[in-house]
Amino acid sequence: MEIVWQTPANPPERHDYIFRNGKRHVRPYYFEFISHVKNRWAGKTIVDLFAEEFKGRPYDYYVSAVKSGRIQVDGQIVSVSYIVQPSQKISHFLHRHEPPVLALDVSILQREPDVLTVCKPASVPVHPCGQYCKNTVVGILQAEHGLFPLFPVHRLDRLVSGLLILARTAAKADVFRQQIESGKVHKQYIAKVIGEFPEEEEGNSFGGTALKGKVACTKFTRIGTDGTHSIVLCEPITGRTHQIRVHLQYTGHPIANDVLYLSETVADRSIEGTTADRAAVVNSDHSPASVFSCNADLEEYEENSCEGFSIDPMCTNCPNLTPKGYGGHEEGLWLHCVKYSGPGWIYECPYPSWASLS
């Protein structure tokens, strides 16, 4: 079997994507993962190193991968008893399966010589991370619109939708980042939360809460409510991970479909087997993970069908299209970025359909 190995330098292309059952899949491809031996790895055999550090695959797989040359040290095939040394380059050549994302367009909102703004769909990561490489906003824009290079200037969680600003040059990205770090950029999100959020003329500020040891502050203003749910304008003053989600939970009005922060659904999460937030790292090729199983139904069988790509006899994910550890029980959060503004500029994104309570 002739194998063409890819590296991060290989650009994603339109034919890399397979669309099934409302999801965008990536056709599995051969990829070279590169690591450098850390001091704590030195002195271990090459097989023991992989078996202990990268637990997503069985021991026998790593034995076969070393013997067949799919795991190499400094570009050379070695024996299974080879002892690794600090700073050596280890290449792991494997058949890469990326998790699917929702099959929604990355729509371009505004195109300027040095700035591109898009509406990011929920479930799609902004840039390569964990198991995601081509199934990202940056990858899709390159494959479908030929836009490269792009430099995201702010962060949106994978499950969050809405406005994403991308600089088209590193210099422009630095200008945005300096304005954000100096507090000159105003950010606005909307969320659909549980219950009747309190209405106050001056808005509701939630601050002083430490997130990972750092003070965080968010201002909330109710836009509307039907008594069961409320649409809330969220204006983060700081920018901590999951800040809006955590602060809304503390107010007693969490995002209505946020499994991670809905305390009453903790039991459901264990039944489902995973949360959407963990899907990016579960069974990551270069992260320790425990593989869980889930019951397959007809839709999942169709998603995992091997039609449209070649089966690799050594791959631990084949013949499924999706990687092991992907449960398929996720949806986008009801949290959407609507506006960013700074010195002399404003960028906006339309409201999503769930923002209407009528």
Contact status, residue 290 vs residue 274, Cβ threshold 8 Å: no
Tokens of 266: 């903790």
Nearest to 135 by CA among 18, 57, 10: 18
Catalytic residues: 157
From CA 294, how far away is CA 320, in angstroms rounded? 14
Tokens of 174: 């630095």
Nearest to 14 by CA among 139, 105, 143: 143
- Return the bridge partners of 120, or none: 162
Cis geometry, peptide bond prior to residue 149 (ω within 30 degrees of 0): yes
Contact status, residue 162 vs residue 120, Cβ threshold 8 Å: yes
Nearest to 193 by CA among 250, 254, 146: 254
What are the Cα distances from residue 25, in Å, to 60, 97, 100?
28, 9, 5
Any idea what DSSP says for residue 157?
-
- Return the bridge partners of 215, or none: 210
Cis geometry, peptide bond prior to residue 8 (ω within 30 degrees of 0): no
How many CA atoms lie within 13 Å of 242's alpha carbon, on the beta-carbon side? 14
- Return the bridge partners of 32, or none: 93
Contact status, residue 88 vs residue 346, Cβ threshold 8 Å: no
Which amino acid does the sequence have at 52? E
DSSP string, 216-266: EEEEEEEEEE-SSEEEEEEEESS--TTHHHHHHHHHT--BTT-GGG-GGGH
Which amino acid does the sequence have at 341? S
